[in-house]
Chains A and B, each alone.
Chain A
Amino acid sequence: MARHRNVRNRNYSDEYDYDDVYGHSVEEDSCMSPSDADQWLYDRSRNQQAMSNFLDSHNDIQEETEEQTAAAHRSLERRESMDLRGLNLSEDDEIKLMSCLDELRNVLGDTIPENILVQSVLKHRFNYDKALDEILNNKAKEDKNVPVVPLPPVIIEPIKAPVIATIDTPKVITTKIEPNKAAVIKGFRIGDETPKSCPQTPRDQSPAKRDRTPSRADQEDKVFTKVKENKTDPNTQYNIERGSDKDHLYIVVIGHVDAGKSTLMGRLLCELGEVSQRTLHKYEQESKKIGKQSFMYAWVLDETGEERVRGITMDVGRAQFETKTKKVIILDAPGHADFIPNMITGAGQADVALLVVDATRGEFESGFDLGGQTREHALLVRSLGVNQLAVAVNKLDTSNWSQERFNEITKKLKAFLKQAGFKDSDVTFVPCSGLTGENLVKAPTEAELLSWYSGPCLLDVIDKFNVPQRPVSKPLRMSINDIFKGTGSGFCVAGRIENGVLNKGDKVLVCPSKEMAEVRSLSINDLTSNSAFAGDQVSVTLSGVEMQNVAVGFILSDPIQQVPVTTRFEARLVVFNVKVPITKGFPVLIHHQSLVESANIVKLKALLNKSTGEVMKKKPRCLGNNSVAVVEIEASKPICIERYKDVKELGRVMLRVAGVTIAAGLVTDIINI
């Protein structure tokens, strides 16, 4: 008891000596959730693999700056991890290799990572004994190094701290660094913002990664400041919170079925080290089992059993990575015509788009010409307000990296995209191959491609996108695209903040049901946060409303400056290619953000001239192909909608009939009933 009382009454500032701080941080770690704790726990197979990799490049570390080490090390590790296909083995050799590996594993167990095994087996031309010999010798050498092992990871701090150069006893050093950080670098939210990108690199698992402690303390500071900030200009708040961070960029990946969207993204994530080796290996094995090995990268994004079995994406997949200047969140849209509603939901949240086309002869044509989704997707994203586009000419390896083919495709697409309303300067074409990983994150290595292509790789193109201005100072609007049970009390809604700022503890109005709710907690990309700004994808834990009373497509709105709710509105339509003309009374589905609702066109008000916008005819009988018109639309239920001139994102609607997009519209007026 006495000891406890001591602790309670202790004056922290007095006793804030190194040992205590160190102890404190340990305590912090131990009260993490089991899944978090998992990362810190010793896992034999994981750790060994990472550790031995680390040893190989160990000598370099101290000579390089931290950032470089990180990059170099990561890529090295990736390159070492080979998948068997990458080795170009003949079938016989592959079998030999497999049997050697099995034998080696019998002896060594899982202590040695597979890539090392494979390498040594290949080195000794499938001679099992020699390979084993070499591995064991190496291991013996490593063992001598072992005493050094626990030390180096501690050295690497994500922040530049000049102290590092003089390390001898890391234990002491870390403790020195930590209080410094907490005190000096305010607003540096490492714990929040750095994604745990590659949990297998040694430094992630090392005790030095304990910068969580200071960042938490840091957050608490913020809560206090926030209370005051709330009343201040949201722009200032935005600048304070986000000014120092990388810009967030949301990018939707679109294209025809089987153009290779998921594979391309999966591969990109693997190359960037966002997917752990073990997971990838698992996918490889499992996909092989059902005979779809080419889908292994796609599985990174296609997670449900249904999607994997069918080999197509059905709902929008999400993942994130970082480029030099940006934090990129990718939304992998389904390409299948039946899932366009899902694709619209995804595209509605994106800032820019990546159009993937299959360069294989015949495939591009079938995806692009009538009936293919390439056109519809491109038109949709354009109508949803995306104006920057990158086109990945995928699977170019199938036509032997032919420049001719690339030019043919670019020519066709350029003409179409221009017509669709994309500026030439906003569209970039990149040749690449998702399955082989060519020209994704690094400059190409294929001779055929190098001979004519000198442009940027896909990652650079993504890096060069402009981040649009975020309307943080407007009243809050957040569209809900998912409702689910969270881990704690209450339930979560996920969606994108279109306008304004959302803070923890805010009262929001759930529209169109007009119920008040309170924001219990916020998380952006699975990391809890205290505030979120326009453009962010957040999941919000709500209290004060019933889960059944909230539906996908609802809007969280500012309680004072509310979002208009109506069933009837006037819109300016651009009619696409339609099989039958649009008349009065035409039943349609309106897609508005993630909302899908049945509606009727109740009045055709005027037919407009396409280029000048002048009224050509009042009350037309019907609207044909490619016409522009003002119509009145009545939804079957009240919906939240805004005039386009007020809030762009909420002022756009898509009209679909029988699985085909027939028109895109901008809301010009809201008619109150």
Chain B
Amino acid sequence: MKCGGLEASDLGTVDAVVLTEAASEDVDDGAGGCIALVPEEPEDMWHAYNLIAKGDVVTASTVRKVQTESSTGSSTSNRVRTTLTIRVETIDFDTQACVLRLKGRNIVENQYVKMGAYHTLDLELNRKFTLQKILWDSVALERVELACDPAASADVAAVVMQEGLAHVCLITPSMTLVRSKIDVNIPRKRKGFVQQHEKGLNKFYEAVMQGILRHIDFNIVKCVILASPGFVKDQFFDYMMQQAIKTDNKLLIENKSKFLLVKASSGFKHSLKEVLQEPAVIAKISDTKAASEVKLLESFYTMLQLEPAKAFYGKKHVEKANEAMAIETLMISDKLFRCQDILKRKEYVGLVDSARENGSDVRIFSSMHVSGEQLDQLTGIAAVLRFPMPELEDSDDENDIDSD
């Protein structure tokens, strides 16, 4: 088995360690090799999820239940920690717990596990694993670089709410995680029953406050955005501070300055998009990928409105535009690179590479952000062009059925 090496990226959030020096110094696309990675925070799991594809070989330390039969015939089973190497068949990612689970057959026999036996690896934080690919393409390499970026990622928490509905979200550079969803029925105001409305409201605020306390780590989060239509956010903030003083909650009182109140149109998750466009928020979280992605997608839509011949989506259109070297900005969702079909992935990687060659700006959207979710729905690929291509618009009668 060939083991092409990779140059060591500097040790950042994910440590990439070269196992073997490569025969060729420069790793071109298409070279195989293995790379050791140490995930240090939950977000790295997400990167790993995007990196590992079906057919890759992963070596990691794991716990396996081993049955031993003694000479007398009685069998005992005990758990042993061992290092296994598997060829990945299925990949599962739990977004809530940020756990990556890889299932596959063992390809390196050791004293406990036979060749070809199935094993499921749970990748753990702060434990090294080695990933071996037959082919490291540009997108994968970029992902490694991104993961190793030492720039301290600024986490932002956001609570979008409306009367009776709230989402407590955590926004990291490449993920938006809904930590808690609060859905409480608040009776409407009615003659003589105003108290019920107010009681329901207080119950709701209490639940949101508990959600914040439980899910937001004020040591990591540098800003908490409270967003809502109308006065819900102000009322809630008042309520929370009052409660904090009443119960002498130091945590909330000390972090009062971290709260940022902005307007949103509803309490549903996708109104985060509006929140991330607020100038006040952008100023606070300038380095977060989420905000720039929202902005890009917005500019795509504006272009579609103003000059429809300069904005296209769907693989076929974008490919044609790329052939004409017309793409100014290419937006592509990372979901497309996770697809199981290796050939398809190759096509997308090829598209990205050639677009880069043609001097276009390529942005890979995280499908965990609200903007990425929307791009996913919009076939996962979209482009803003340098010059109008009206002929594309006319030729689309029979295609555009690729994704649903």
Q: Which residues of A contact B (CB under 8 A)?
A: 303-306, 310, 314-318, 336, 338-339, 341, 481-485, 494, 526, 547-548, 550-552, 578-581, 583-587, 589, 596, 598, 600, 602-603, 618-619, 621-622, 624, 656-660
Contacts and interface: CB of A to CB of B under 8 A. Distances in A.
B194 A485 contact: no
Contact of A587 (B190, B191, B377): B377
Interface of B: 162, 164, 183, 185, 187-191, 193-194, 196-198, 229-231, 235, 265-266, 268-271, 273-274, 298, 301-302, 304-305, 308, 312-313, 370, 373-379, 393, 396-397, 400, 404
Given A304-B198, A338-B230, A481-B188, A658 B271 contact: yes
B190 A338 contact: no
A517 to B, nearest CB: 16
Given A336-B230, A580-B298, A483 B187 contact: yes
A338 B188 contact: no
Given A338-B229, A658-B271, A659-B265, A304 B197 contact: yes
20 contacts: A310-B231, A315-B189, A318-B191, A336-B230, A338-B229, A339-B229, A341-B266, A485-B196, A552-B164, A580-B304, A580-B305, A581-B308, A584-B378, A596-B266, A598-B268, A603-B404, A619-B396, A622-B304, A657-B265, A659-B266
Contact of A314 (B230, B308, B376): B230
A494 B301 CA distance: 41
A315 B231 CA distance: 12
Q: Name, among A338, A526, A622, the residue most crowded by chain B CB atoms within 10 Å (CB to CB).
A: A338
A579 B379 CA distance: 22
Nearest to B313: A583
B191 A303 contact: yes
Contacts of B301: 580-581, 583
B308 A598 contact: no
Contacts, number: 120
A316 B191 CA distance: 11
Contact of A581 (B274, B298, B304, B400): B304
Contacts of A598: 268-270
Given A339-B229, A621-B313, 6 more contacts: A316-B188, A494-B190, A579-B302, A589-B266, A598-B268, A659-B265
Given A585-B378, A586-B374, A598-B270, A304 B231 contact: no
A580 B302 contact: yes
Contacts of B274: 658
Contacts of B308: 581, 621-622
Q: Name, among B193, B308, B397, the residue most crowded by chain A CB atoms within 10 Å (CB to CB).
A: B193
A618 B377 CA distance: 19
A-B pairs with lowest CB-CB distance, top 10: A585-B377, A659-B265, A484-B187, A580-B301, A338-B230, A585-B378, A338-B229, A587-B270, A598-B268, A482-B188
Contacts of B266: 341, 589, 596, 659
Contact of A602 (B197, B313, B377): B377
Contacts of B305: 578-581, 624
Q: Name, among A339, A552, A587, the residue most crowded by chain B CB atoms within 10 Å (CB to CB).
A: A587
B196 A484 contact: yes
B193 to A, nearest CB: 7
A304 B265 contact: no
Contact of A584 (B190, B270, B302, B379): B379
B233 to A, nearest CB: 11
Contacts of B231: 306, 310, 314
A343 B229 CA distance: 14
A90 B379 CA distance: 71
A558 B390 CA distance: 53
B192 to A, nearest CB: 9
A336 B304 CA distance: 30
A552 B379 CA distance: 33
A657 B264 CA distance: 11
A600 B377 contact: yes
Contacts of A339: 229-230
Nearest to A550: B185
Contacts of A656: 265
B313 to A, nearest CB: 7
Contacts of B302: 579-580
A303 B305 CA distance: 44
A621 B396 contact: yes
A474 B1 CA distance: 74
A587 B374 contact: yes
Nearest to B228: A338
Contacts of A341: 162, 266
Given A581-B301, A596-B266, A658-B265, A602 B404 contact: yes
Contacts of B188: 315-316, 481-482, 484, 494
A622 B393 CA distance: 11
Contacts of B270: 587, 598
A330 to B, nearest CB: 13
Q: Name, among B190, B273, B393, B396, the residue most crowded by chain A CB atoms within 10 Å (CB to CB).
A: B190
A306 B201 CA distance: 12
Nearest to B197: A304
A188 B373 CA distance: 61
A318 B190 contact: yes
B229 A659 contact: yes
Contacts of A338: 229-230, 265
B363 to A, nearest CB: 17
B129 to A, nearest CB: 35
Contacts of A596: 266
Contacts of A547: 185
A304 B191 contact: no
Contacts of A317: 189
A481 B189 CA distance: 12
A584 B377 contact: yes
Contacts of A485: 187, 196
A166 to B, nearest CB: 41
Contacts of A551: 183, 185
A619 B191 contact: no
B194 A304 contact: yes
A552 B185 contact: yes
B185 A483 contact: yes
A526 B378 contact: no
Given A338-B229, A581-B304, A659-B265, A303 B194 contact: yes
Contacts of A305: 194, 198
A162 B370 CA distance: 74
A484 B193 CA distance: 9
B190 A484 contact: yes
B401 to A, nearest CB: 8
Contacts of B196: 484-485
Contacts of B185: 483, 547-548, 550-552
A618 B396 CA distance: 10
A621 to B, nearest CB: 7
A91 B301 CA distance: 60
A542 to B, nearest CB: 14
Contacts of A303: 189, 191, 194
A498 B109 CA distance: 69
Contacts of B271: 658
A342 B314 CA distance: 37
Given A526-B191, A579-B305, A589 B268 contact: yes
Given A304-B194, A304-B197, A485-B196, A585 B376 contact: yes
Contacts of A580: 298, 301-302, 304-305
A600 B189 CA distance: 31
A314 B194 CA distance: 13
Contacts of A657: 265
Contact of A621 (B273, B370, B393): B393
